[in-house]
Homo-oligomer: A and B are copies of this chain.
Amino acid sequence: MRLDDVKAQRRAEAEEAAAILGAEIEFFDVGDYPLRVGEAELDRLVDVYRELNPAFVLTHALEDPYNFDHPVAAHLAQEARVIAQAAGHKPDHERRYSAPPVFLFEPHQPEQCNFKPQVILNIDSVWATKQRAFRVLAAQRHLWDYYERVALNRGVQGGRNSGTAMTYGEAYQRLFPMAAEVLS
């Protein structure tokens, strides 16, 4: 199979998964073996932050010795997030942007990536949808069961840490301190 066919297929799958999730999706088309990003991609992502003003960011773990594209993507996500807040960057741009919290999702082998779960999100009510989206990715079929087991075990941990049972959980690491009005 040629590279163009592979890319077309991956794109089609991603669009189908996004539709299931009700998500909008945008492709930067910069390859992943290796992933390299330049000023153009950074500038474009800064604009996305300012346009969307997202409530939070999900990105990859900061280290991953199995997937060298993941830390590059995470770095891009972080650097663009900061530049978007700089008054001096494209100063004419009218905006109400405030740098959002950043959550790192769990990598495949978390301890090798120095990933620390700090939040366990209860995903019981959306599990069926997530599973449907996940199963669109035919090339990663061997990971379906793997990640279902991850979700079940994070769910057990979420229940143990909170005292409130959950069946399916997702673990996240926060990059920044959380500002709070009350402790809980």
A contact set with B: CB distance below 8 Å? 1-3, 6, 33-34, 36, 39, 42, 55-56, 65-68, 78-79, 82-83, 86, 88-89, 91, 98-99, 101, 103, 108-112, 115-122, 142, 145-146, 149-150, 152-153, 156-164, 166, 169, 171-172, 174-184
Contacts and interface: CB of A to CB of B under 8 A. Distances in A.
Contact of A177 (B2, B112, B146, B181): B112
Contact of A33 (B1, B86, B152, B171): B86
Contact of A116 (B6, B111, B166): B111
Given A1-B91, A68-B78, A78-B65, A162 B184 contact: no
A145 B121 CA distance: 21
Contact of A103 (B34, B83, B183): B183
Given A109-B160, A112-B117, 18 more contacts: A33-B83, A55-B184, A56-B184, A66-B160, A68-B79, A68-B83, A109-B117, A109-B157, A119-B180, A121-B179, A121-B180, A122-B180, A145-B152, A149-B152, A150-B153, A158-B177, A166-B179, A169-B179
6 contacts: A6-B91, A33-B89, A65-B175, A120-B177, A120-B180, A122-B179
